[in-house]
Amino acid sequence: LLSKEQSYYKLARKPEAAAKETIVLFDGGPSQLGGPRIAQLALLVILDERAQRSRSALRWGCIQDPSQDLHDTLSKVSIGALLSATSLTPTSTNSLKKRLSQPEVLAASESWLIGSEELCNEALVSHTSCVSITEKVSPGPLTLHLTARASINARPKEVQLELPSGPTCVRI
């Protein structure tokens, strides 16, 4: 009798978790050249470390890259692609919207934009987290202002970073 009762029960199994993937898009417009590009590289390394710790995939690319490729490794070649995907024309909101609407970006469990403040405002409307990077030009050391927001309603987290002197920054 006892064995017949047990046949009615099924073992509860946890469903397999969906693979986590983060997509990061970089703005290569003129406001992101120079000091902001150094911050973009640092953020790429940080997000790569974060993805490795959480055993999730990280794919990234530049909005201005004509191939629209997303890289999945950090290498000399892939970082060179990021550095060379620049534009002297500011990135349009239409270019950003087009990139954010690509199936691989929409399918990601998390997406980030790293770029200008104007583009970050548009990204937040599209449910994309963002880090805006603004270069503050004033007498004294070169300073970057970074603002991170996880959603349109999230409280921003801000930091000011002082960059090394001009010749040192150029070598970086």
The tens digit of pLDDT for each residue in 60-95 reads: 999 988 888 899 989 999 888 888 888 899 999 999
Query: H/E element holding 138?
Result: none
What Rg, from alpha-carbon coordinates, does the chain have?
Answer: 21
In 3D space, the residue among 42, 54, 163 whose CA is nearest the CA of residue 114 turns out to be: 42
pTM: 0.83
What tokens does 82 get?
């990021």
Average pLDDT (117-123) is: 90
Sheet holding 57-62, edge to edge: 57-62, 21-26, 110-115, 129-136, 143-149, 157-162
How confident is the model at residue 4, as a pLDDT?
57
Average pLDDT (124-141) is: 88
User: 52 φ, ψ to 5°?
Assistant: -65, -40
Separation between Cα atoms, residue 148 and residue 133, nearest integer Å: 9
How confident is the model at residue 112, as a pLDDT?
95
Is the pLDDT reported for residue 45 higher than 60? yes
What tokens does 131 get?
């880090």
Among residues of the chain, what percentage have pLDDT more than 70?
85
How confident is the model at residue 34, as a pLDDT?
86
Query: H/E element holding 84?
Result: helix 76-84
**How many angstroms from the chain centroid is the CA of residue 51?**
11
Q: What per-residue string of b and e applies to 41-67 under the rule 16 or more CB within 10 Å gives b?
A: bebbeebbeebeeeeeebbbbbbbbee
Query: Could you count the other beta carbons within 10 Å of the beta carbon of residue 83?
Result: 14
How confident is the model at residue 13, as a pLDDT?
58
